[in-house]
Chains A and B, each alone.
Chain A
Amino acid sequence: MRAVLPNLDKVSPYRSISPRELMDASDTMPDLVRSFERDGSNAATLLREFMRHIAKVARPYPDAYFALGQKSEDAVDDLGNRAFSSCASIEKGRFPFSGRTPFASFVQEGFDGRTIRYHSFYAKLSITRELLRDDYAFNLRRNPVLRWRAELYANIGAVLKGSCTPVPQGRGLPPKWARNTGALHMVRPLEVAIARVRDLHTDDIQAQVFEALRTAGPQTQSRLTHIIEAATGCPIAEDHEVDPTEDDTADRMGVRQAVAEAWSTLEDSDKSLLIALARGSSYDELIAASPSLNNKVAVSRAVSRVGSLFLEVVTEAIGGTADATATPRTLIEPILTVLAELYPHDFA
């Protein structure tokens, strides 16, 4: 039997890789941003760097945070491109941008690569995570399953504001909510709270909230939403597609014009009512913003004027009343979108 020897010369790494390349550990991000800000050069390299980090940031997020409710390669690419555009061209008011575009801020403040990456990708409030938040908020309105979650969140909020006490967490965190029952309870893990809420066998949101707080101690509104959702399950089991009613009508100049014209015919109290309704404000919040609405006649008059002088006029202008398939909700969506664009301080 003849032994077959391997030809090691053909697989020697020293012959195929010569001279040996050493990795460069220097941080290129600050220079890439600086040159892009100066004259637009190195855009492709900088975008490629963005894509690499955004792919990493996006990894833990579920489908609900991406365009069309699907976490695909295209959706992550889209996120990367939008984050890049946002850093390049959208002025941000908050710290550390102070009315500048993120890229301009990075250059003017002389940030190092780690700080640039922190504010662009990794911080809890980074540019990338803001976009993920906005996509998630959009999907929460449009996807039937997620919409149920948003409505649950709103219903839980009504219970909390009516019967519980907020416990500030500080540092920009949302408050936790507690019940002042006076009794001492052992705080149990969230899984126990989910099981206890499930064992209630009730649809009463208040009972579910109280049980969750009694079992798991003070919780944020979003955490309570997840506890109750996990315990009761989402009632919609099919048709997970995103509502095809997109906001494309909002791009039409006609809608903008109709909204702007109708808005100008309203009195201040009418506008206050519309703003309060769009924000889901309580009656007390409405009165605080517009004291003249502190009686039934004034509210009734404002409701009537807003309905006939604004909403009916605009829906007719966009052809909604002639569309047999249109529902009040599908007619209102584009109006609210245009209002948010025209009057972002009040509606966005």
Chain B
Amino acid sequence: MSNELYSSLFDTSVPHEGTDKLVAAFAEVGRLRRAAFDLASDEMHEGIWAIEDAAEPQVLRYAADDRDEQTATYSGDGYTVTVRSESQAWTATLDHGTPGASLKIDNEWVTLELGSAVDLPVDALPEALTLIDLTGREISLGRT
């Protein structure tokens, strides 16, 4: 019975008299505030309008650059590699150094050939490249 009395305060179809009318109005407004906040919070937590990824500043910088292709040269310990973007794909070309050396990109290995472009699994120009020579030595190539 006490449950019915309490619940009736939220029921807009139940008539209330005297100060109970104010209490029922308080319940109605409270319920609406709670529902509004919960709905807004649910949508925020679900990320309905959220695109969490912000582009890297470097990507923004190159997006603003209207040259046809992007190129950078990396060098270190006698090796020179040119990375360029062509038709939305990235390639690497070994300009100087021993053929057969590999670039390590995350967990992928890309074997280089002197003067030939090979596909590179990157989305933007890296800050540096890691090259493994034929003896297994790891060489860091910086941008020049």
Whether the Cβ atoms of B2 and A328 lie closer than 8 Å is no
Chain A binding surface SS class = helix
A198 contacts partner chain B, Cβ-Cβ < 8 Å: no
Task: Identify A277's interface contact among B30, B44, B49, B65, CB under 8 A.
Answer: B30
Number of interface residues of B (CB under 8 A): 51
CA distance A244 to B48 in the complex (A): 29
CA distance A117 to B40 in the complex (A): 22
Residue from B5, B6, B53 with most neighbouring chain A CB atoms (10 Å)? B6
Q: Quick one: given A53-B54, A117-B54, are A133 and B29 in contact (CB under 8 Å)?
A: no
In the complex, which residue of chain A has the Cβ closest to the Cβ of B41?
Answer: A133
B22 contacts partner chain A, Cβ-Cβ < 8 Å: yes
Cβ distance A105 to chain B, nearest Cβ, rounded Å = 19
A306 contacts partner chain B, Cβ-Cβ < 8 Å: yes
Whether the Cβ atoms of B49 and A328 lie closer than 8 Å is no
B42 contacts partner chain A, Cβ-Cβ < 8 Å: yes
- On chain B, the residues within 8 Å of A60 by CB distance are 49, 51
CA distance A289 to B20 in the complex (A): 22
Q: Which of B75-92 contact A (CB under 8 A)?
A: none
Whether the Cβ atoms of B23 and A220 lie closer than 8 Å is no
CA distance A139 to B18 in the complex (A): 30
CA distance A137 to B34 in the complex (A): 9
Contact with B along A120-159 (1 / 0, CB 8 A): 0111110001101110111011000001011101100100
Whether the Cβ atoms of A293 and B2 lie closer than 8 Å is yes
CA distance A145 to B23 in the complex (A): 25
CA distance A99 to B93 in the complex (A): 52
Whether the Cβ atoms of A150 and B36 lie closer than 8 Å is yes
Cβ distance A159 to chain B, nearest Cβ, rounded Å = 13
A207 contacts partner chain B, Cβ-Cβ < 8 Å: no
A234 contacts partner chain B, Cβ-Cβ < 8 Å: no
- Contacting chain A: which of B56-64, B94-102, B107-115, B133-141? B56-64
Q: Quick one: given A134-B40, A286-B6, are A303 and B25 in contact (CB under 8 Å)?
A: no
Q: Which of A153-201 contact B (CB under 8 A)?
A: 153-154, 157, 172-174
Number of interface residues of A (CB under 8 A): 74
B19 contacts partner chain A, Cβ-Cβ < 8 Å: yes
B50 contacts partner chain A, Cβ-Cβ < 8 Å: yes
Task: Identify B31's interface contact among A62, A117, A280, A286, CB under 8 A.
Answer: A280
Besides A129-B44, A129-B50, A133-B41, 18 new A-B residue pairs in contact (Cβ under 8 A), listed by A number:
A23-B61, A25-B57, A60-B49, A122-B52, A123-B50, A132-B49, A134-B40, A150-B39, A154-B35, A174-B46, A221-B39, A283-B6, A295-B2, A299-B2, A299-B5, A300-B5, A307-B22, A329-B28
Which 4 residue pairs are nearest across A and B when measured between Cβ atoms? Answer: A307-B19, A328-B25, A140-B36, A154-B35
Tell me the A residues contacting B by CB distance below 8 Å: 23, 25-27, 53, 56, 60-62, 65, 113-114, 117-118, 121-125, 129-130, 132-134, 136-138, 140-141, 147, 149-151, 153-154, 157, 172-174, 220-223, 225, 274, 277-280, 283, 286, 293-296, 298-300, 303-304, 306-308, 311-312, 315, 327-329, 331-333, 335-336
- A sample of 15 cross-chain residue pairs with beta-carbon separation below 8 angstroms, ordered by A number, consists of A62-B49, A122-B50, A123-B50, A129-B44, A133-B44, A137-B40, A277-B23, A277-B30, A278-B33, A280-B31, A280-B35, A295-B2, A299-B5, A331-B25, A336-B30
Tell me the B residues contacting A by CB distance below 8 Å: 1-3, 5-7, 9-10, 18-54, 56-58, 61, 64-65
